[in-house]
Amino acid sequence: MKFSKRTAFFLGSMIIISFLFSNIFSTSNVDPKLIFTEKYFDIGDKVNNLIWFVQITDIHISIFRDPSRITQFKDFCLRTIDAIKPITVLASGDLTDAKTKDQVGSTQIEKEWQYYRDILRETQIQNKTLWLDIRGNHDSFNVVDQHSKNNFFTNYSIQGKLFPRSYMYQIKKDNATYSFVAIDACLDPGPKRPFNFVGILDKQEIDHIYEMMKVLKTSSNYTIWFGHFPTSCILTHGEESVRDIIGKDRNGLVYLCGHLHKMGGLVPSMYTLQNAGFLELELGDWKDNRMYRILAIDHGIFSFIDVEMNEWPVVLITNPKNALFINPQRENVDSIRTSHFIRILAFSLADITSVKVKVNKENWLHCRHVSGPLFVVPWNPHLYFDGLHDIQVFVKDKEGRTRIINQHFSLDGTQLSFNIMPKILLSSNANVMFRMMFTIMVIISIGPLLFVRYLYDLLKVGRMSKLKRNQSIWKLWIRKLCLLSTIDRIFWPLVLYPLYLCVGPWSIGYIIEEHIGVIFAWGIYIRGSFLPGSFTYVYGFIQLVTFQVPLILILAHGVDQRYQYSILKPGRKRSMLNMVCAQLPFLILIFVQLEMAYFFWLAYGTLAFVLGPLRTWSIFVALALWHQTLTFPISCVGSKSITRIT
């Protein structure tokens, strides 16, 4: 998702709504019964019981934008992978951009997939590592099903030929089995953007995941789950959420994902510990931020670091691990408490010449190279049994590049807490939030109108004392709304339009390839399938915020002006400036709506544009209502009591 004012707006709304529903957050106290006591290791200075691997996400290979995305991706497959020598690379979706030149429309572009395939071929990636790729929402834009000619993932990716959807790979090393489970929650059928933002696991896919979990239970020691969508953006068929499912895997250390692009940089470290017992780590994109991630499992303890391209040397402390990511439900913390060595992985383009460690304010200790990227130095963990401590590592390579990293560790279970924003974004449920945002906006759009109409009815029968003239801005606007609500021919369309958005079709058009679909607030019907709505609610929300609410205010003001000039100040001529000012907000509103309708046309084509009550028709509704406002017979305004309100 591209960052825009719109994103910032969602974010703001999501925060507010989330605070209202704070029970969706995880609490950080771990039930002592859940504390993990298996898989104890005596951590020494050997290179055994250690694997490291890499994640990259949201590559967005595009033939229209930013060619360096492609060349630098090739460089990543060559120099970066050669320097790190990961056992596997997880490419977690949005491999290609699949957007048209205007950046609004979307379809699969074969040329982009050819770039992806060719780079992996030319760099002989499969001779160097195990490349595990999976689809993201961009890889399923405009793909009607797996057998569609548009589903290039099957032909051009590395795993797609064997595994069109979710799959598992197991790697055996030093008597341990490491399982990598890829979750494909892409919509099937896959609509064009933007109604492709939230993923779904249908029954078939969930059954498939449960099949794989049988293997995880009997013959695996550690599981790394990964997929494109964060768990907050995955709907599931049935009662269980994707978090419940992953949480059942006692060997599951982490769920790795992408998709949110660090919210355009607003939330740089999007990490959290889910209640279900696993870490969830969103990785910044390759697309604009050129990020990737190095991860390690060292003697059953998981650690990772997010790195920007060309940032060498890269340093990852695997023991003692970063206090923020301690997970006592899945890792045996005793292994760290009784360990004999500090263990560090250091990678660079040139040989590493020096690795030094400093704990708290003590002296620097020189580390010994064991083999590959592993450096160790003996330590005495008993000195650090209480509270939080600092560890600092300095690394230098042969070409003079240096890096210093600093982090906290704790050996007594002291836990740091995650930031609130990542917690909200990863532990909430996007679908519920989006629906709530829409519902609240519908209420805001019609509630006040109905209320003042009710108020007016009371006035008419004289059950309520008349309002006094008052200049306060609130009362002024209440008066305007009151006036508006008495004019049936404007009032009813304004109330019915938001209600229509709740029930009626928003648009009918070519939602996927040559297939006609119907978009409703609650979902999309296409080719006999139903895709439950969730991003649709955001669309409706935006429509109400940018169109409905301003329209009500503009009309209320217009009615009031006309009323004042024709009844209260008859004969007084309106100045030119006054006339222009009165028209201007309406013109801006129409212009904005035209632009949004144009974007809708780019996204879904002419048919959807013409048969589009949501965007296109609303313009005509607005024009008709504005015409009414300028011409309504003054006698339409209810009884005399309103006159006295003023």
Ligand X SMILES: *[C@@H]1O[C@H](CO)[C@@H](O)[C@H](O)[C@H]1NC(C)=O
What secondary structure does DSSP assign to 547-573, as a single string? IIHHHHHHHHHHHHHHHIIIIISTTPP
240, 211 contact by CB (below 8 A): no
Q: How far is CA 605 from CA 104, 293, 447, 514, 627, in A?
A: 11, 39, 34, 11, 29
Is residue 568 within 8 A of residue 645, CB to CB? The reply is no
Asked if 175 is part of the footprint of ligand X (rule: CB under 6 A), the reply reads: yes
The residue among 121 and 627 lying less far from ligand X, judged by its C-beta, is 121
Q: Which stretch binds ligand X (CB under 6 A): 119-127, 158-166, 431-439, 456-464?
A: 119-127
Binding mask 75-114 for ligand X (x = CB under 6 A): ----------------------------------------
CB of 122 to ligand X, least distance (A): 9
Closest CA to 59 of 255, 383, 372, 292: 292
Distance from C-alpha of 209 to C-alpha of 215, rounded to nearest angstrom: 10
In terms of CB distance, is 156 or 520 closer to ligand X? 156
**Is there binding between residue 48 and ligand X (CB under 6 A)?**
no
* Bridge partners (DSSP) listed for residue 355: 395
Give the nearest distance from C-beta 298 to ligand X in angstroms: 12
| Candidates 101-109, 121-129, 183-191, 238-246; binding stretch for ligand X (CB under 6 A) | 121-129
Residue 442 phi/psi, 5-degree rounding, is -65, -40
Phi, psi of 74 (to 5 degrees): -65, -40
The residue (of 124 and 310) whose beta carbon lies closer to ligand X is 124
Radius of gyration of the chain (CA): 30
User: What does the DSSP 8-state code read for residue 61?
Assistant: B
Q: Which is nearer to ligand X, 125 or 602 (CB)?
A: 125
| Main-chain phi, psi angles of 147, to 5 degrees | -90, 0
Stretch 479-508: interaction string toward ligand X, x if CB under 6 A = ------------------------------
175 versus 575: smaller Cβ distance to ligand X: 175
Minimum CB distance to ligand X, residue 248 (Å): 17
* Window 209-248: contact mask with ligand X (x via CB under 6 A): ------------x---------------------------
Q: Rounded to an integer, what distance in angstroms lies between the CA atom of residue 256 and that of residue 278? A: 10
Shortest Cβ 300–ligand X spacing (Å) = 7
How far apart are alpha carbons 158 and 89 in whole angstroms?
12
Answer yes or no: are the C-beta atoms of 349 and 309 closer than 8 Å: no
Among 13, 17, 39, 216, binds ligand X (CB under 6 A): 39
Pairing of strands 167-173, 279-282: unpaired
* Nearest distance from C-beta of residue 216 to ligand X, angstroms: 10
Q: Which amino acid is at 196?
A: N
- State which of residues 127, 471, 472, 575 lies at the interface with ligand X (CB under 6 A): 127
Burial of 444 (0-12, 13-18, 19+ CB in 10 A): middle
Strands of the sheet containing 365-366, edge to edge, are 365-366, 352-359, 388-397, 402-410
Taking the least distance from each CB to ligand X, the nearer of 13 and 49 is 49
Q: How far is the CB of 173 from ligand X (least distance, A)?
A: 9
Asked if residue 609 lies in contact with residue 601, where contact means CB atoms within 8 angstroms, the answer is yes
Measured distance CA(168)–CA(57) in Å, rounded: 18
331: region left, alpha or beta (phi > 0 left; psi from -120 to 50 alpha): beta
Beta strands in 84-148 (DSSP E): 88-92, 130-134
Exactly one of 4, 71, 124, 310 binds ligand X (CB under 6 A); that residue is 124
Instruction: Tell whether residue 126 is a contact of ligand X (CB under 6 A).
Output: yes
Is residue 37 near ligand X by the rule CB under 6 A?
no
3-class secondary-structure state, position 425: helix
Task: Confirm if 73 and 119 have CB atoms less than 8 A apart.
Answer: yes
CB 611 within 8 A of CB 507: yes
Quick one: 124 or 406, whose CB is closer to ligand X? 124
Binding range to ligand X, per CB under 6 A, among 122-130, 476-484, 490-498, 519-527? 122-130
Q: How far is the CB of 117 from ligand X (least distance, A)?
A: 12
> What is the SS3 assignment for 31?
coil
Find how far residue 337's CA is from the centre of its chain: 37
Q: How far is the CB of 176 from ligand X (least distance, A)?
A: 4
Stretch that binds ligand X, among 124-132, 209-217, 278-286, 478-486 (CB under 6 A): 124-132
| Total chain residues near ligand X (CB under 6 A) | 7
**Alpha carbon distance 362, 344 (integer Å):** 18
Interface residue with ligand X among 119, 134, 144, 176 (CB under 6 A) is 176
* Nearest to ligand X of 299, 557 (CB atom): 299
Of the candidates 379, 443, 434, the one whose C-alpha atom is nearest the C-alpha of residue 411 is 379
The residue (of 124 and 155) whose beta carbon lies closer to ligand X is: 124
H-run or E-run covering 184? none
Q: Which is nearer to ligand X, 220 or 410 (CB)?
A: 220
Shortest distance, position 47 Cβ to ligand X, whole Å:
14
Min dist. Cβ of residue 171 to ligand X (A)? 13
Report, in Å, the least distance between residue 78 CB and ligand X: 13
Q: Does 290 bind ligand X (CB under 6 A)?
A: no
Stretch that binds ligand X, among 123-131, 335-343, 613-621, 625-633 (CB under 6 A): 123-131
Q: Are 541 and 548 in contact (CB under 8 A)?
A: no
Nearer to ligand X (CB atom), residue 126 or residue 470: 126
The alpha carbon of residue 574 and the mean position of all alpha carbons in its chain are separated, in whole angstroms, by 51
The least CB distance from residue 177 to ligand X, in Å, is: 6
Q: Which is nearer to ligand X, 126 or 417 (CB)?
A: 126
Query: Please, which residue, 39 or 192, has the CB nearer to ligand X?
Result: 39
Nearer CB in complex with ligand X: 88/561:
88
Q: Footprint of ligand X on this chain (CB under 6 A)?
A: 39, 124, 126-127, 175-176, 221
